[in-house]
Structure 1
Amino acid sequence: MAETNWWDGDKDLVADIYSSLKKEEGKLVIYKGTSPHLHIRRYLVDWLAVQAECFNMTSHTIHLAVFLLDRIMDRDNSSNEAHLHIVAMACLLIATKFEDKEDMVIKLGRFVRRVINGIISQEEFLMLELEVLEMFQWRVSVPTAVHFIDYFLSIAVPDLEKSKGSVINGKYNAPVYIRKYTKYFLDISLQNHSFSFMKPSLLAASCIASSRVCLNLTPTWTRVLQETTSYSWEDISSYIDVMLKAHEADEMAQLKEAGQAHGMDTLGQREDIKPFVDVRRS
């Protein structure tokens, strides 16, 4: 499912693609969260994210890789932690083959061969890739939250630009910041396995709503967003709470770290992410 701006096309075609994504979403392998190795999942996901950033991979790739890893961890309780690290590499390499350009696949393939050198042979790694593909019956080109969030933002941002709230307090450009925040909350969703239980479209909707809360945009969940996503405020509110708590904890950690680094009593604020303000829909 290579990355394309399908949401910018003909309206009828966009509607057909979105409908297809929703149908495919209903066929996804259900996440159970029963792996005995959940305690190292955060480490594996962080490692995947670092590699994805180093190789300039798309968000589509890292989200697909984590999707595959989660389902494998669910089904394979016998794997040890060292083997799971190799499995994570296989998931990332498979994901990039489906989501990235060919030159990216070649670069990552070379990297993986260097990393696994001395651990398992290249032939064994290839067999592992095949095992992963067969586990999913080769149906690994699946929709993730990233595919839905791009579409939802294509509706939400123009609607925001038309409103009086496009500039916040005369300083913050809401359309720009809502994109920053949604990416931020997507990253949070990867780190916490509880979000893997959610449908990708529900996760995407929750990320956008959480972003609107942080930006103090009212109403928090507009009629346009509800009609576009098919999710009501009641459907997403509990997930928003989890995301906002994670954001608040991260913000405090960032401020504490900044204060320790500069020896400040009054801590500075990050420029790319506005301070957390929890103002819900009235």
Structure 2
Amino acid sequence: MMDSNNNFISSESLFNLHINKEIWDDIAEYKDEYAVVLAYREMYRILFAHRAPQIHYRAFLIKHLKDAAITMKLTHCTLHLAVYLLDIFMDNHSITSERILLLANCCLLIAGKVEEYYMKTPKITELNWLVPYPYTVKDYKILEAHILKYFEWNIMIPTAAHYVHYYLQAAVTKEDVRLKQQGVATIVRDMHTTIRTYLDKVLDDVHYMQRHKPSLLSAAIISIARQANKLSEWHEQLEQFTHYTCSDIQFTKMMLLETLPLPCTDCGLTITS
């Protein structure tokens, strides 16, 4: 689990909202405009066909990216975006084993440029420290350009980590504060461990990551985190904010709480880490 960094999102991310204020006072300001942007970008996720010839490398690559994110203190949103780019690019290209780590590093490099403060953006030298054989700067530049061209520069795609950050704006109500006798920030902080656990689970299984709407996954994760902290599983504020009802998220919650890996109806395989 990526537990050395509590930050879901960087303050420099284009998706960032500031949640250090009283959360319910911020909701009206951001809700409509931000929700439209997220929903629009979620619609343009490239469909995953599960046809990557190098899918058997995925578990190894996800571990590599997690370790890199921890080492460089990158946010969950950077990591999730890198994995999205990696999965989709692999799904549509045949990558040689000698360049598979270069691809993972390039995806993290691109995601870091989108999400991180410029001083924390991964550097090629740092990424090369994490691989057994260094690649040249030219190798990175050529593949980075190829990735960006394939995605037509449409790489600002919301992931489950982005949606979790957004939904946290509405995750805690005044009634929760009254019942718990704790401030909003404390309650949200107590939810972090559960949230990180399930965001990690989403990364590990390509079917969660690429075959399920990140907004729905995130709503289910917020609900699980609330219950883990002895709060009601859902409330009207979250329903209005996410546009998901309690019944909408039940099947996704059941899948996330299940210990078995997800089956895939299209490919007939079960991919585990």
Same fold (TM over 0.5): yes
Q: Which of 118, 124, 132 is 2:147 aligned to?
A: 132
Letter in 1 for 2:113: K
CA RMSD of aligned residues (A): 2.6
Structure 2, gaps ≥5 residues long: 1-12, 261-273
1:201 to partner: Cα distance: 1.1
Q: Does 1:24 align with 2:33?
A: no
| Cα distance change, pair 27–6 in 1 and its aligned pair in 2 (3 A) | farther
Deviations 1:142-195 (A, max 9, x none): 22222221221111124463352567xxxxx75432232112211111111111
- C-alpha separation between the residues in 1 aligned to 2:140 and 2:132? 10
Letter in 1 for 2:62: V
More helix by share: 1
How many residues align structurally? 239
- SS of residue paired to 2:169: helix
Q: TM-score, normalised by structure 1?
A: 0.75
> 1:276 is matched with which residue?
none
- Contact conserved, 1:65 with 1:92, CA < 8 A, in 2? yes
- C-alpha separation between the residues in 2 aligned to 1:95 and 1:214? 31
> 1:99 is matched with which residue?
115
Q: Which of 172, 183, 190 is 2:196 aligned to?
A: 183
Identity %: 25
- C-alpha separation between the residues in 2 aligned to 1:10 and 1:23? 19
Q: Which of 221, 235, 255 is 1:222 aligned to?
A: 235
- Contact conserved, 1:166 with 1:174, CA < 8 A, in 2? no
- SS of residue paired to 2:123: helix
| Cα distance change, pair 36–16 in 1 and its aligned pair in 2 (3 A) | same
| Cα distance change, pair 18–48 in 1 and its aligned pair in 2 (3 A) | same
Deviations 1:79-132 (A, max 9, x none): 233322210111001111111111222x53221245568554321221001000
| Cα distance change, pair 33–210 in 1 and its aligned pair in 2 (3 A) | farther
Q: Does 1:232 align with 2:245?
A: yes
- Contact conserved, 1:63 with 1:190, CA < 8 A, in 2? yes
> 2:65 is matched with which residue?
48
Q: Does 1:203 align with 2:217?
A: yes
- C-alpha separation between the residues in 2 aligned to 1:235 and 1:130? 40
| Cα distance change, pair 163–175 in 1 and its aligned pair in 2 (3 A) | farther
- C-alpha separation between the residues in 1 aligned to 2:34 and 2:72? 29
| Cα distance change, pair 39–58 in 1 and its aligned pair in 2 (3 A) | same
Q: TM-score, normalised by structure 2?
A: 0.77
- C-alpha separation between the residues in 2 aligned to 1:97 and 1:193? 23
The worse-fitting range, judged by mean Cα deviation, of 63-72 and 34-43 is 34-43
